[in-house]
Amino acid sequence: MDAFNDSALARLFARERRDGSAAWFSLPGGATLYAPGEAADQLYFLRTGRLGAFRREEGQEPQFLGVIRPGEPAGEMALIGGTPHSANLVALRDSEVLALPRADFFEAAESDPTVMLELSRLMIRRARQAQTHAAIGDPSVFGFIAVEAGLAIRPVVERLARCIETLGYSVTVEGGESLLAPTEWFSNVERRPSGWST
């Protein structure tokens, strides 16, 4: 949790994990953390990976609500509101998550008011983004595979990346090194400035 020690929530989860209240687990890409209607009996904290929130209205396609990034909580609105979850939260890739039971969270938050203040600011920001349907700053990931063996795909991808950069977006190109990379590797790539990997 070294990268996120400056956050009150990160310090809370680190302390609760040392004390044995917070549990760590791995969530494979595509797996659901929670679904609509489930009880909000835990506060989650994303250590590495990416989570996506989706809501599905009857007879419609799922609506993408936003991304949970490393160092951010998940499930806080339902937990604090005392209501069931209203969305699906899915791992967009392999992720590491910490879970803190509801009672332990409220007990810990009482002793450190900055936790609730930080959480309130985050909930307001997320609510505003949901109203405008803006997931500003969320990275998009694209994968490219050559259709024929031996075909050099990287020069084409790099040329495409340069074109995207001219539109004002940050771009990072990664290669085969990512195939066996641990979940922390992806978080490090997303945190560093854009550029070309070699």
DSSP string, 69-94: PTT-EESHHHHHHT----SEEEEEEE
Domain boundaries, given as residue ranges, for the chain: 2-132, 154-196
User: 137 — alpha (psi -120 to 50), left (phi > 0) or beta?
Assistant: left
Taking only the tens of pLDDT, the chain with its 198 residues reads 444 557 888 999 999 999 999 999 999 999 999 999 999 999 999 999 999 999 888 888 888 888 899 999 999 989 988 999 999 999 999 999 999 999 999 998 888 888 888 888 888 887 777 666 544 445 566 666 666 777 777 787 787 777 777 776 677 777 777 777 777 777 777 666 544 443
Task: Write the CATH number of the domain with boundaries 2-132.
Answer: 2.60.120.10
